[in-house]
Chains A and B, each alone.
Chain A
Amino acid sequence: MDFCSFLTIDTFITDPLTHDFMRKALFMSSLVAAVCGFLSSFLTLKGWALMGDAVSHSVMPGVVVAYALGLPFSLGAFIFGVGSVALIGFIKQKSRVKEDTVIGLVFTGFFALGIVLVSKIKSNIDLHSILFGSPLGISLSDVKQTLIISLLVVLLLSVFRKDLMLYCFDPRHAKTVGINVFCLHYLLLTCLSLAAVVGLQSVGIILVVAMLITPGATAYLLTDQFDNMTIISVLSAIISSVIGIYVSFWFDLETGGSIVLAQTFIFLFAFLFAPRYGVFKFKKLFSGYNR
């Protein structure tokens, strides 16, 4: 059977949809992409890319402990995610070590703890699926859990969107007009931990970092409007997920990796061809653009 002779645009799109696991994977990945993409615009503007990296790695031991105790993964991941950030803050305050160093040492410590726990707790927990995700093997309970957490994060980010934007832009002004900056800080961290949990299902711990950073960075190159940035970030994340899953289906590639690669290509495209901030600025095409 020749692969190419059977493949038309029509079958390329519809064939994977005949499989239940593919429909589920597409839905789940798009959902996770939307959540991570939404959050990504805040992290990019706040300069928290490294924090996203830290939290998503730090949830690892939480997942293993939760598994061992028979608790939901998300609970363990959430506790360890927020715990790592609290620890980073504590060490930073009590020592002269710089913040990026503290972040690096805390998350690698947590991550190593997770790996050691996996090897010690003789279970059928699949290290590979935690690290790289398993969007094609998602169970119904995972779907429910992801759906609930995703809706919660999207709701929180939507309600506090403007406050969070102000917090990222000018926290001192936020404080001066009576907005609780302390709560916003922890709100953003909570959403980050929850996003790491949902991302873990789809692309795994390692690649969820990309999901939290790349869409926001792409959108940042394409617009000067915060609302547009959020929309572009979410859309680019969803489109990458869909492209990644189709490509991995047809070419038998690792799904998580394909999704992130798709995101990276979209970023590169924006990096090269963004109208105002790209390497090759298409100023003439956008001559009406208000400079």
Chain B
Amino acid sequence: METTNYQNFRIDAENICVDYNGKVALYDANLRLKPGQICGLVGMNGAGKTTFFNALTGFVNISKGKIRINGESVRSAQKDQSIAYVPQNEGIDNQFPVNVWDVVMMGRYGSMNILRCPRESDVQAVKDAIKRVDLTDHLSTPIGNLSGGQRKRTFLARAIAQRASILLLDEPFSGVDIRTEKLISELFIQFKNEGKTILLSTHDMIHVREFCDLVLLINKTVVAYGETSEVFTPENITSTFGGISPDFLFGPES
């Protein structure tokens, strides 16, 4: 019974704690997401958003708690290509000598042989992904020559090429142009219809209201979690942002 219950959730994080050399970054955090759900991860800088992502991708080990991805361990999820991570633009070395095609192809590495030789299916997956983010004209453009929005779309294409069922996006709307923002919004709706689960961190409260079915407010631990309409209240936001009024975050008209 218990196991069947797990299977219903794409992400099931239970009381997870992460510490870096004894310094607690996240404690007693819980999150359960089903297929087709979009969840916003909201918190201040240093509240543990990136740590949460790192724990879900297995990039850091959790010191306590349990994470199940599609009912399996994080390691199995890595092998199954279940999770794709779209980094912040700032987290990437823009001068690295790779072009759009190379980056998107990296999404297929986990499915390839040890030499990472692309098969016809990999090439097709990369082409399709690049087409979906509208970068077909930039296949061989080095990432250093792309705009912030184009670069964001490149990494989104990498996640699409990976064909993961869960997408983790770190600040998907920061530093992007209107065109990219519109394209990402459209993709979110498509992903939702495809049954993908999305967890995105953002500073932009308007985007949370616009896209997210659920919201997870964190400040080292979960402050509030649930349906956006219920949880995204001025009181909860104030306690998440250490006493800062939501008027300051949304603007007075909100």
Assess whether A127 is interfacial by the CB under 8 Å rule: no
A66-74, A97-105, A221-229: which lies at the interface: A221-229
Q: Assess whether B116 is in contact with A224, with CB atoms less than 8 Å apart.
A: no
Chain A contact residues, CB within 8 Å of chain B: 45, 93, 159, 162-163, 165-166, 168-179, 220, 223-226, 228-229, 290-291
CA distance A8 to B59 in the complex (A): 61
Q: Assess whether A173 is in contact with B78, with CB atoms less than 8 Å apart.
A: no
Q: Assess whether B99 is in contact with A224, with CB atoms less than 8 Å apart.
A: yes
Q: Is the interface of B mostly helix, strand, loop or mixed?
A: mixed
Q: Assess whether A179 is in contact with B109, with CB atoms less than 8 Å apart.
A: yes
Q: Is the interface of A mostly helix, strand, loop or mixed?
A: helix
Interface band, chain B: 35 or more
Q: Assess whether B110 is in contact with A170, with CB atoms less than 8 Å apart.
A: no
Q: Jot down 30 A-B pairs with beta carbons below 8 A, ordered by A.
A: A45-B96, A159-B115, A162-B116, A163-B116, A165-B98, A166-B106, A168-B96, A169-B93, A169-B96, A170-B92, A171-B59, A172-B54, A172-B59, A172-B85, A173-B158, A174-B109, A176-B57, A176-B58, A176-B78, A176-B84, A177-B109, A177-B162, A178-B75, A178-B110, A179-B109, A220-B97, A224-B144, A229-B97, A290-B145, A291-B145
CB distance from B209 to the nearest CB of A (A): 29
The answer to whether residues A172 and B57 also contact, given A162-B116, A178-B81, A290-B141 and a CB cut-off of 8 A, is yes
The answer to whether residues A224 and B78 also contact, given A93-B21, A163-B109, A170-B106 and a CB cut-off of 8 A, is no
Name the residue of chain A whose CB is nearest to the CB of B85: A176
Most chain A CB within a 10 A radius of its CB, from B54, B84, B87, B98? B98
The answer to whether residues A172 and B116 also contact, given A45-B96, A224-B99 and a CB cut-off of 8 A, is no
Q: Assess whether A179 is in contact with B110, with CB atoms less than 8 Å apart.
A: yes
